[in-house]
Amino acid sequence: MTRMFFPAIAVELLTGLAMAACPNLVAWLLLGQDATPAGAGAARIAGVALIGFAIACWRWSEPVGRRAMWLLQPLVAVPLVGVALFTALGGPLLWPAILYHAAATIVLARR
């Protein structure tokens, strides 16, 4: 198991908890704006799903959980890059989040 696997699970679990508990804070940190009421509701749902995903990855056997966690990384990084490059949105953690997910994609891909 790579050294990045459990830290990646922790990052996604904490992000999910933050999205579920404080969607406006997460929206501001990533996008530089508060979420709309509908966006906050969607963020709460996504946060709970991310919590479930992190727990499932932790409980699955190493190859399955690691592959699932690896697959999540570019699926998150690509839309974040789109937001950064093609919209006027951008909070203080947008580029750090992009860099984290890009690095996690590379590290988790290695055996």
First to last CA, the chain: 8
In tens digits, the chain (111 residues) has pLDDT values of: 457 788 999 999 999 999 999 999 999 999 999 999 999 999 999 999 999 999 999 887 678 888 899 999 999 999 999 999 999 999 999 999 999 999 999 998 886
Q: What gap in Å lies between CA 44 and CA 23, rounded to an integer?
A: 6
Residue spans of alpha helices (H) in the chain: 5-21, 23-31, 37-59, 62-86, 94-109
Q: What gap in Å lies between CA 84 and CA 78, rounded to an integer?
A: 10
Q: What gap in Å lies between CA 15 and CA 33, rounded to an integer?
A: 17
